[in-house]
Amino acid sequence: MFSRQAKIKAEPADTVSEELAHSTSPADEAETQSDKTSQRNADETAKTLVSVAEALSNFGVEMVDVAGAIETANAATTGLQEAFNLLCQAAEETQVQTGVIREAVTTTAMVANASGDTMQRSRDALGKAANDIATLISSVTEINSQLQGLQGALVSVGEVSQSIDQIARQTNLLALNATIEAARAGEAGRGFAVVAGEVKQLASETSTATQQIQETLTQLNQEADALIGLGEGALTGVSAVQESTSALDEVIDELSDAITEIGSSSSVVETGIVDIESATKDFASNVTTMQETVTSNSALLDSAAERIGNSVDETDRLVGVTADSDIDTDEGRFLDMAREAVDAVQNAFAAEIEEGRATINDFFDQDYKPIAGTDPEQVMTRFTAITDRVLPAIQEPVAQSSERIVFCACVDVNGYLPTHNEKFSQPQGDDPLWNAANSRNRRMFDDKVGLRAGQSTEPFLMQSYRRDMGGGKFAIMKDLSVPVYVQGRHWGALRLAYKV
């Protein structure tokens, strides 16, 4: 279906021999020799041009590979730059947090020192209180002992008082008997009666006094008992306070030791924080230096990538020039295929309009309506059904004409590919990765290559690029696109992608 005949051809050798056989004059022989030389030069020139075209194509492939490697390196550098940015931020944040920690440690040390002083004062006060409590316990014990002694004395006094009362009662009986005897004696016993009366009166008063003493002693005994009880209660309470004070003293000792340890630890931590601050500053400085280096390298890679990209574009342009010439090259044959296919596409689109199956506005519909449930997303326009009807018969023969051809498909100016080759137009399943590889129809391919292909109005556009095959592997591809027009308006392009 598709063929290209080289316009620079060698004259068949047998034809030249026949001409020489029929020519005998020296002039004819000279002319024949000149023709042979010219033909040989033409053949050599043709071979040279083919070699140059192939060399340009190979050079372009190598340039694309280099550009891809630079792009990969630049992507890694960009990631490294982002990592260094995060490191710088982390270093700065670490410095800030280290300063906060250092201030907190300093404050802790100050509080620990102040608390140590307070605890020492508390310990001194508690020691004094313990001494006072011990003195109080001793005093209460002494008073209690004295009260018990007093109680014993009161008992003794009571016993003496009872003896006196007994004697007073006996004396009163004796005085009574004496009075009786004095009365019997008459006048002679009158004086004795007076004495006996006085003794009786004294005995009565003594008995009354001993009774009052006994009552007082009873009351004193009761009060002494109460005081002894209070003293014992006070002694029990004070003893409990003494035990609590001792326990509190132990707690204060432990707290004091802990505060001392905190102070010592704070000092050690503060020294460590100072070292960390110094190390963090050095680290931040080094990271900043490396970040600047990476940024500089990234800029150089950007520049190199841009220059390599321009070189790739220029090489593709030169390869395109050879493809568009009379030189018989692979690119030239693929270009012929693409141009013949574009002619067929434009005629088919024109027929759809002329026969009333579509309008010019249908072909330029850019209202891309998403198809629900598709992943990756597929979209429809008014011309999708039209391309599904007319393009397969044109695209499939081209796609199957060579094992090197990966696909042949039309896209509009926005990179929308409505109708793909049969092998890339499978119904979507549940796996988005499988869909991305096998359900590529009705998809928007608005990457650099896709957009340039769809939007270019040059007679044709040659683009070389690396196709990601997964697993860190890439394949060099060439994308040859020819513009497609509908009634004189630029609609998009036919893309012919093939392996190098």
**325-351 average pLDDT score:** 88
Q: How confident is the model at residue 2 (pLDDT cuts 50, 70, 90)?
A: very low
Closest to 157 in 3D by CA, of 223, 226, 214? 214
224 Cβ contact list (under 8 Å, min separation 6): 147, 150, 151, 154
**347-369 average pLDDT score:** 97
Q: Choose the most confident range, by mean pLDDT, from 121-130, 422-431, 474-483.
A: 422-431
Contact 64, 312 (CB under 8 A): yes
pLDDT of 14: 45
Determine the angle formed by the axes of helices 13-22 and 26-185, rounding to 10 degrees.
160
Cis before 376 (ω within 30): yes
Q: Helices (DSSP H) in 6-25: which residue ranges?
A: 13-22
**178-193 average pLDDT score:** 74
Q: How confident is the model at residue 10 (pLDDT cuts 50, 70, 90)?
A: very low
Three-class DSSP category at 376: coil
Q: Which residue has the higher pLDDT, 245 or 476?
A: 476
Closest to 492 in 3D by CA, of 391, 422, 410? 410
DSSP string, 376-425: S--EE-TTHHHHHHHSHHHHHHHHTS-TTEEEEEEEETT-EE-S--GGGB
Does this model's pTM top 0.75? My answer is no
Q: Which residue has the higher pLDDT, 456 or 245?
A: 456
pLDDT of 424: 96
Q: What is the pLDDT of residues 363-417, one digit of tens each?
A: 999 999 999 999 999 999 999 999 999 999 999 999 999 999 999 999 999 999 9
Sheet holding 461-470, edge to edge: 405-412, 489-499, 473-486, 461-470
**99-125 average pLDDT score:** 74
Q: How many of the other CB atoms lie within 10 Å of CB of 460?
A: 21
Q: How confident is the model at residue 21 (pLDDT cuts 50, 70, 90)?
A: very low
**29-56 average pLDDT score:** 59
Q: How confident is the model at residue 468 (pLDDT cuts 50, 70, 90)?
A: low
Contact 210, 161 (CB under 8 A): yes
Both structure tokens of 482 = 């020819």
| pLDDT at residue 46 greater than cutoff 60 | no
Three-class DSSP category at 409: strand
Q: Choose the most confident range, by mean pLDDT, from 133-137, 216-220, 265-269, 417-421.
A: 417-421
How far does Cα 421 stand from its chain's mean position?
A: 44
Q: In whole angstroms, what is the distance from residue 340 CA to residue 321 CA?
A: 18
Q: What is the pLDDT of residues 303-313, one digit of tens each?
A: 655 555 455 45
Q: In whole angstroms, what is the distance from residue 135 CA to residue 395 CA?
A: 116
Contact 88, 292 (CB under 8 A): no
Contact 381, 369 (CB under 8 A): yes
Q: How confident is the model at residue 164 (pLDDT cuts 50, 70, 90)?
A: confident
Closest to 200 in 3D by CA, of 231, 221, 178? 178
Q: Which residue has the higher pLDDT, 52 or 112?
A: 112
Tell me the C-alpha to C-alpha distance, in Å, between residue 486 and each of 71, 343, 360, 407, 482.
Answer: 37, 11, 8, 22, 13
| pLDDT at residue 262 greater than cutoff 80 | no
Instruction: Walk me through the domains of the chain, giving residue ranges and CATH numbers.
Output: 18-314 (1.10.287.950), 329-500 (3.30.450.20)
**270-284 average pLDDT score:** 74
| pLDDT at residue 55 greater than cutoff 60 | no
| pLDDT at residue 7 greater than cutoff 90 | no
Q: How confident is the model at residue 50 (pLDDT cuts 50, 70, 90)?
A: low
| pLDDT at residue 110 greater than cutoff 50 | yes
Q: What is the pLDDT of residues 129-146, one digit of tens each?
A: 778 777 877 877 877 777
| pLDDT at residue 473 greater than cutoff 90 | no
With 0-12 CB in 10 A as exposed, 13-18 as middle and 19+ as buried, what is 101? middle
Q: How many of the other CB atoms lie within 10 Å of CB of 486?
A: 20
Q: How confident is the model at residue 289 (pLDDT cuts 50, 70, 90)?
A: confident
Q: Which residue has the higher pLDDT, 38 or 63?
A: 38
